[in-house]
Structure 1
Amino acid sequence: MTQSTDSIEFASLLCSRLCHDLLSPVGALNNGLELMADETDPEMRQRCLDLLGDSARTSANKLKFFRLAFGSAGGFGDAVPPHEAKVAIEGMFAASGRVKLGWMVEEQLLSKLAVKVLLNLALIAGDALVRGGQLDIGAETRPGITEIVVRGEGPKVILDPELRAALAGTLPPSGLASRTAAAWMVRQLVESAGGDIVLSPPGESVLLFGASIPGQG
């Protein structure tokens, strides 16, 4: 299989992941509109409007996050204000109240690569908090390197073994699927920059990711 074919296959897997994540809120929008078309009771119509509002916000929040995490957001420059990443993560997790966000990033700007890595690690850690919990994110840029730390803690923390393997760089080609595409992409981006990703051991009550990206300071 050629490199071009590999790239197309990976893009297809990533698109499948994004479509899967957007299907629920967009489907809720469609259901709400169908209910509104037949409903005459004022109270029920208000409930439909509330459903539509929640679904629209969820869809918009996910699109904002995906634009930064997987697209070319932030203009054509090389750096992105970390506040944009914070707002995107809050929209994905903190707004629901299921996950509390701790933000420890004082930098005024981070490279686009660092922001993509930070967002994707935060997404993986946040999804691993299946019963909610605390999601702490830190990043620091020093001369020649940017270091990122993502920590997740909650009543039940589950990281899929294939996601762990994708982040660790041990996932076999047969394991690349829509659910592992983002983790695999993060590993490839960091390795291409000459950096590394470390993970806390499986079975721990706290999930910890660390990424070191040379040449970003």
Structure 2
Amino acid sequence: MSDNDIDLAALLCSRLCHDLLSPVGAMNNGLELLADEHDPQMRQRCMDLLAESAKSAADKLKFFRLAFGAAGGFGSEVDPAEALAVIEPLVTSDGRTRLEWSVPSAMMPKRAVKILLNLVLIAKDALVRGGVLHVGAEGNSGQHEIVIRAEGPKIIMDESVRDALTGKLVASQIDSRTAAAWMVYGLCSPNGGLVQIAGPEAEQMIVGALVR
């Protein structure tokens, strides 16, 4: 394993910890309130907070396990239904974003699934006020095309994330914000694969990946 691989793993762990900090912190706050609260209605609210935060943490862990880790078994292919199962809670949990899924049920290469998951994560982050996330993919003759279309009233993609996706950054410039994008580029670039971005403009952004 190279130093760059170790650095990327560390940055992905930093991203995971950052995203888990909010729900885990909310659980901690809920437990503190529950310990001091005796009113039945307030205790129920604390329990609701704990349940909501625990679900959020579990949903994020399941997503990151498949997006960053070795979930999906040791085989070379993954059932897209597994990807949908972890994507839907992540995308729709804030109540402001709707998911539209157009991915065939045929098994996909694990590398393509990881690219799809991380592109969804990047596009979801760009929908700062929510909207609609269209996720599509198709495979033919040993290659897969993935298209993520984000539509919403305000779409922002950090320029460094865009540069990481398209290979314009070097390893020493990658941080926890751009680690997922850099991972996509690294997974996509072998055998002539590529990532293309259109927008954001007119409340729309399209990110496409060709995986060979």
> Shorter-chain TM-score: what band?
over 0.9
CA distance in 2, matches of 1:76, 1:203: 40
**1:13-24 → structure 2 map (5 Å cutoff):** 13-24=11-22
AA matched with 1:188: G
Greater than 6 Å deviation, 4+ residue runs: none
AA matched with 2:71: A
Instruction: Give the structure 1 partner of residue 52 of structure 2.
Output: 54
| CA-CA distance at 1:4 after TM superposition | 2.5
Instruction: Give the structure 2 partner of residue 92 of structure 1.
Output: 90
SS of corresponding position for 1:96: coil
| CA-CA distance at 1:175 after TM superposition | 2.8
CA distance in 2, matches of 1:32, 1:182: 31
| CA-CA distance at 1:6 after TM superposition | 2.1
Instruction: Give the structure 1 partner of residue 27 of structure 2.
Output: 29
Q: Percent identity?
A: 57
Aligned length: 212
State the TM-score, normalizing by the size of structure 1: 0.93
Contact 2:155 2:200 in 1 (8 A): no
Residues 126-178 of structure 1: per-residue CA shift (max 9 Å, x gap): 11000000000001011121111000010000001110111111124453101
CA distance in 2, matches of 1:34, 1:201: 45
CA distance in 2, matches of 1:4, 1:143: 32
SS of corresponding position for 2:205: strand
Contact 1:107 1:140 in 2 (8 A): no
Contact 1:162 1:175 in 2 (8 A): no
**1:132-147 → structure 2 map (5 Å cutoff):** 132-147=130-145
CA distance in 2, matches of 1:95, 1:104: 20
AA matched with 2:54: A
State the TM-score, normalizing by the size of structure 2: 0.96
CA distance in 1, matches of 2:30, 2:100: 34
| CA-CA distance at 1:87 after TM superposition | 1.4
Instruction: Give the structure 2 partner of residue 73 of structure 1.
Output: 71
AA matched with 1:67: R
Q: Aligned-residue CA RMSD in angstroms?
A: 1.3
Structure 1: 5+ residue stretches without partners: none
